[in-house]
Structure 1
Amino acid sequence: MPRVQCRERYQLPVKFDFRVWFPMHMSIQLKRMIGKLRTVDLIVEVHDARVPITGRNPQFYSSLYAVRPHILVMNKMDLINENLRKPIEDYYRDNGITNLVWTNCKKRLKKPLVDLQNMMLRCLREEPRFNRTVKTEYQVMIVGIPNVGKSSLINSLRLTNLGNNQKAVEEGSRPGVTVRVQNRVRIFDQPPIYIVDTPGVLNPLARDADGAMKLALCNLILESATQIHYVADYLLYWLNKTGDYSYVEIFNLKNGPSDNIHKVLLDICQSNDIRFQSYIAGQRAERWDIDRAAKSFTNMFRNNKLRNHCLDIDLLLDYMNKDE
């Protein structure tokens, strides 16, 4: 299939307001997290492997990691090509992060969880405890942006170590389920280790359209703050940019690939008979359901129907080619 002439870069409308995807509770809860640091021995940061570089909150480093040992957990590892793991590890090693673990909390694979446990125990035993030297128990804080699997990780660790299948913290498939710093949960008996769940906190200073849409596509930002048509348009841009035209076959598009989201969504409606009924002046009429088509298009990525789900592949390629 011939390549489509693609936009050089993705742009959001001028009227788009980035402030809507940083709710007030995020800044309040970050301050509470900082206030709890005196009682914390280790920070575990969870991130989505589909955006291994994009979206990590720099405020976490300046406020949390700089004063406590830190482990970076790349969750949802099954959603990216295994060959990308080493370049990602190399990237973070070059940026001073050596404690990196891959997990899949949804499937609760045992080996990744054991790897994380061993790394946590090593960090807790090797790092100085400062004002907590007299304590016989350890306390871990889990942080990250929304919907990356923080609560799932806590429940998985609890099940693996204590055999307790009852969920200690609520999990959700949408961002914003945890909105405040939670009470601590026991995840180890020997030594006694407790973990504190925290709400997802985005970077309030981020104004990068590309990064924002990557997070929205991975369902890491509330959809109401980004609008589904913008997200669908970004996915189309990204697919065409990477030369992936599988969406044409998936939706049986009669007009082939295009860089125009309006044409693609209309083609999806016409090729798959996606309509809705409306009433105008008391008369029933059928129209193409463009909103449902946009939702179906983005779900193609979210439901793992594509061959590549790492949205940071361009950033990784730039990193790997930087010395050439």
Structure 2
Amino acid sequence: MGKYSTNSKRILTKLKQQGIGNVIFTDCARDKNIKQVVPAITKLIGSSQRFQRAENAETCIMVIGVPNVGKSSLINALRRLHLRKGKASRVGGEPGITRAVLTRIQVSESPLLYLFDTPGVLSPRIESVETGMKLALCGTILDHLVGEDIMANYLLYTLNQQQQYRYVEHYGLEEPCSEIDTLLKKIALKLGKTQKVKAITGVGDVNITVPNYSAAAYDFIRTFRCGQLGKVMMD
């Protein structure tokens, strides 16, 4: 599986403490480690007495995970690699794209392997506010349920805590920023995101142009999710 980053090693250590030893880190779009998935599944099945079924050579696997982590993208990547076929499962940039368990999808001819895509699964109760913020920034919870301004504030805090200052260069700032309102104002002005609002004065209502903080927060979060602010581990 090649060399791991410090964050990857930390994740592996925690997973091993939970008895999970078979882990592959991969990027479905371009990472060569995607080639290891089907052989790893085949090896695990072959070494388990539970799945010794000589009368039926095909295998069905269910893909499970939290929303918006790339389950459908994984299935489609395996189809492209092993069958030279296109998409069989719909993908999207927000949670809730996969609504129900689909018909099994073939991803390999030899071995004969089928996968079931599933809707994202979350714990019915999020253990802490911070955990909820991390999940929201990763796109597993709909943004409007949390509030993009709150998410942007936590994102800025996280970037500064991890000394990830790529946002300074990306938005043309002079130095790192600790106040979210200041950052959003600068982002809005840089991107030309403004809006007209009514201001009440002593002589009547006046329309004035102000920075659009909501649009700036959306761009800040979207830029982070696209990986343009660096590789950031939320957990």
| TM-score using structure 1 length | 0.63
Q: Distance in 1 between matches of 2:163 and 2:84?
A: 46
Which of the residues 129, 133, 149 maps onto 2:50? Answer: 129
Q: Distance in 2 between matches of 1:286 and 1:222?
A: 29
Distance verdict in 2 for CA 1:252–1:160, change over 3 Å = closer
**Is 1:299 the counterpart of 2:219 in the alignment?**
no
Q: Cα offset for 1:270? A: 4.4
Q: Cα offset for 1:257? A: 4.1
Give unmatched runs, 5+ long, in structure 1. Answer: 1-80, 313-324
**Is 1:216 the counterpart of 2:139 in the alignment?**
no
State the match for 1:168 in structure 2: 88
Quick one: which amino acid aligns to residue 140 of structure 1? I
Quick one: which amino acid aligns to residue 44 of structure 2? C
State the match for 2:210 in structure 1: 287
The C-alpha deviation readout for 1:46-78, integer Å capped at 9, x for no partner, is xxxxxxxxxxxxxxxxxxxxxxxxxxxxxxxxx
Provide the alpha-carbon RMSD of the alignment. Answer: 2.6
Question: What are the residue-to-residue correspondences of 1:1-324 with 2, within 5 Å?
Answer: 82-107=5-30, 109=31, 111-129=32-50, 134-165=55-86, 167-253=87-173, 256-270=175-189, 273-278=192-197, 284-312=207-235
Contact 2:68 2:93 in 1 (8 A): yes
Distance verdict in 2 for CA 1:207–1:84, change over 3 Å = closer
Q: Percent identity?
A: 33
The C-alpha deviation readout for 1:190-229, integer Å capped at 9, x for no partner, is 3322111100011112131111111211222211221101
The C-alpha deviation readout for 1:9-47, integer Å capped at 9, x for no partner, is xxxxxxxxxxxxxxxxxxxxxxxxxxxxxxxxxxxxxxx
Give the match's secondary structure for 2:221: helix
Q: Distance in 2 between matches of 1:244 and 1:103?
A: 23
Contact 1:187 1:195 in 2 (8 A): yes
Q: Cα offset for 1:128? A: 2.7
Quick one: which amino acid aligns to residue 157 of structure 1? L
State the match for 1:65 in structure 2: none
Aligned positions, number: 228
The C-alpha deviation readout for 1:174-200, integer Å capped at 9, x for no partner, is 111001111101122233221111000
Give the match's secondary structure for 2:106: strand
Q: Distance in 1 between matches of 2:145 and 2:69?
A: 18
The C-alpha deviation readout for 1:282-310, integer Å capped at 9, x for no partner, is 96532211111111222331222223411
Quick one: which amino acid aligns to residue 24 of structure 2? V
Q: Distance in 2 between matches of 1:276 and 1:302?
A: 25
Q: Distance in 2 between matches of 1:245 and 1:190?
A: 47
The C-alpha deviation readout for 1:90-147, integer Å capped at 9, x for no partner, is 332232111101111123x3x3122111110011111133696643321111100011
Quick one: which amino acid aligns to residue 141 of structure 1? M
Q: Distance in 2 between matches of 1:82 and 1:130?
A: 34
Contact 1:257 1:264 in 2 (8 A): no
Contact 1:253 1:271 in 2 (8 A): no
Quick one: which amino acid aligns to residue 229 of structure 2? L
Q: Distance in 2 between matches of 1:194 and 1:300?
A: 35
Contact 1:161 1:188 in 2 (8 A): yes
Q: Cα offset for 1:230? A: 1.1
Distance verdict in 2 for CA 1:271–1:185, change over 3 Å = closer
Give unmatched runs, 5+ long, in structure 2. Answer: none
Q: Cα offset for 1:161? A: 1.3
Q: Distance in 1 between matches of 2:52 and 2:35?
A: 29
Q: Distance in 2 between matches of 1:285 and 1:179?
A: 44
Q: Cα offset for 1:263? A: 3.1
